[in-house]
Amino acid sequence: MTARIGVVTFPGSLDDRDTQRAIRLAGAEPVALWHKDKDLKQVDAVVLCGGFSYGDYLRAGAIARFSPVMEPLIEQAKAGLPVLGICNGFQILTEAHLLPGTMLRNNHLHFICRDQKLRVENAETAWTSDYTAGQEIHIPLKNIDGQYVADQRTLDTLESEGRVAFRYLDVNPNGSNNDIAGVTNEAGNVVGLMPHPEHAVEPLIGTGRTDGLPFFTSILKKLVNA
C-alpha cells in the first residue's frame, strides 16, 4: 500500500507543488490539503510547505496557525503523526507550539536566497533517518524571517536532548541562536527547518544535488516499516 503524505496549501503558499513532486520522487503519494479542510483525509504524514501564508501578516505563521486544518493536525501530531515544517511551515509549527522557540526577522533585515551548507545533528527522527549524524549537506535557503531564537533554558534543553536537527555551517545566514537551522520535538515525529529540501531532490534544480531527497525517503521508510 502506497504511503500518503499530505501537503497543506495556505493562501500565500509557494512551494506546495515542489513538495508534492519531491514526495512522488521518493515513491509516496502526495495528497493536497487545503487550509480550510477540517480533516486530514487519512494521510500518513503531513508537510507544511514554504511560502508566506496569509501574507505573513502579524507574524510569519501567526494566522495560519489558526486555520481549520491545524486543529486536527495539532491533535494528531501530539498523538504521533509525522509532520514536517519547511520554512513558513517551521514558523507555523512554532506558532502552534508543536516546536519550541520562535522565528524573527533575519538579523541583517534582508531577504536571503542562497545554497546553504548544513550539518545533520539528529539522524533519528521520522524525517532524517536516511542521513547520518554529522553528515554535511547543501540545501537551498530563502527567507526573511529565518532567525531562530529561544530562551537559554529552551536552548539548553534542545542541545542536551539532541533535538537540534540541523545546524548551519560556514556561515550563519540569519543570526539564529546556536546556528540552529532545524529542530525536532521530543518524540521525533515533528521536525521543522528553514532551508528547503524539496528544492534539492533532482540534479537539474536547486543546488544541483539531491541532498534534500532523504527527508522524503526517510518518512517513506518510517511509514512502510511501522
CA distance 47 to 31: 10
Cβ 28 vs Cβ 5: under 8 Å:
yes
pLDDT score at 205: 81
Query: CA 16: distance to chain centroid?
Result: 12
pLDDT for residue 10 is more than 80: yes
Instruction: Express each pLDDT in 50-60 by its tens digit.
Output: 999 999 888 89
Separation of alpha carbons 120 and 147, rounded Å: 18
What does the pLDDT look like over 95-147, one tens digit per residue? 999 999 999 999 999 999 999 999 999 999 999 999 999 999 999 999 999 99
User: For residue 56, what pLDDT is reported?
Assistant: 85
C-alpha cell at position 120: 545533520
Segment 45-72 shows an average pLDDT of 94
Q: Of the candidates 105, 104, 35, 99, which has an alpha carbon nearest to the alpha carbon of residue 71?
A: 35
How high is the pLDDT of residue 226?
A: 67
Q: Say which amino acid occupies 224.
A: V
Residue with C-alpha cell 555551517?
Answer: 169
Nearest-angstrom CA–CA distance, 44 and 151: 33
In whole angstroms, give the CA distance from residue 148 to residue 28.
31
Which residues are known to be catalytic? Answer: 87, 196, 198
How buried is residue 113: exposed, middle or buried, by Cβ count under 10 Å (0-12/13-18/19+)? exposed
- Region 1-6: mean pLDDT is 90
Strands 83-86 and 45-48: parallel
Look at residue 207 in the predicted model and tell me its pLDDT.
81
pLDDT at 73 over 90: yes
Is residue 190 within 8 A of residue 177, CB to CB? The reply is no
What does the pLDDT read at residue 58? 81
Amino acid letter, residue 74? I
Burial class (CB in 10 A: 0-12, 13-18, 19+), 59: middle
Whether 1 shows a pLDDT value over 70: the answer reads: no
Mean pLDDT lowest among 88-97, 156-165, 196-205: 196-205
Q: What is the pTM of this model?
A: 0.96
Of the candidates 128, 150, 125, the residue with the CA atom closest to the CA atom of residue 139: 128
pLDDT at 216: 97
Interval 167-223: pLDDT, tens: 999 999 999 999 999 999 999 999 999 999 999 999 988 788 999 999 999 999 999
Contact between 162 and 125 under an 8 Å Cβ cutoff? The reply is no
Neighbours of 105 (CB within 10 A): 17
Task: Please report the DSSP string for 61-127 in residue order.
Answer: TTTGGGSTTHHHHHHHHHTT--EEEETHHHHHHHHTTSSSSEEE--TT-S-EEEEEEEEE----STT
- 92/107 Cα distance (integer angstroms): 20
